[in-house]
Amino acid sequence: MANLISHRNIAPLAFLFEAALGLLAIGLGTWCDIDPLENVTIGPETLWRQVVAVGWGLLATLPMLVGLVLLRQIQEGPLGELNQLVDKQLAPLFVETRIWELALIALAAGWGEELLFRGWLQTLATRNIAGNAGLWIGVLLGATVFGLCHWISSTYAILALLAGIYLGILFIASGNILTSVTTHALYDFVALVWITRSPVAPAPPEDTSNPLEETPD
């Protein structure tokens, strides 16, 4: 297993896993009569609609990136512990990954996770629960499962939950999964590049003094 998950093959494994989530969503959607790619059609009459959906996705990435910049400055408390976890355990896995490989991983994550959690799961709840309640239950259900699937720590799961709510609202507002796919993929790409290519901030020094040691007069 150690050889399987090495620095050089983590990229293809990550790409295949994330892309497989999209295929899973399409399979589940076929079983439940739900099309995760509904409204995503490419043709002379719909091309501009898809371009607009992607454009809104690009703009919607900005608040998430601002949040990333602010959170990465925190070095104390639960968020500080999360930053240290990312820097010391997750970032080294991708440190040898090329930029274009990071782009493919991010694109696969945007595709796979959005189709599964928003395109299929959120839509499943929305279509089976009438009214506005169905919309919000769908958003919360998709975001909650999304957060649980990102449980590397409770803090990270909560942040993923909040991101899932944001992405779910984008999906509803735009009516096109391409918007949340674009936002998710671009955010992941910027975050991966920044985390793997920036120097690690030093951890706060530990207090090694002995409180029982007597101080000289």
* DSSP state at residue 79: H
**pLDDT for 85-143, tens place per residue?**
999 988 888 888 999 999 999 999 999 999 999 999 999 999 988 888 889 999 999 99
Q: What's the mean per-residue pLDDT of the chain?
A: 88
Residue type, 100: W
The pTM of this model reads 0.86
- 90: how many CB neighbours lie within 10 A of its CB? 14
What is residue 200's predicted lDDT score, i.e. its pLDDT?
A: 57
Handedness of CA 175, 191, 91, 103 (dihedral sign): positive
Measured between alpha carbons, how far is 97 from 188 in angstroms, rounded to an integer? 14
Q: b/e string for 47-82 if b means 16 or more Cβ within 10 A?
A: eebbeebbebbeebbeebeeebeeebeeeeeebbeb
pLDDT band at 153 (very low <50, low <70, confident <90, very high): very high
| Cα–Cα–Cα angle for 192, 60, 193, rounded to 5 degrees | 10
For the cut 80, the answer to whether the pLDDT of residue 40 exceeds it is: yes
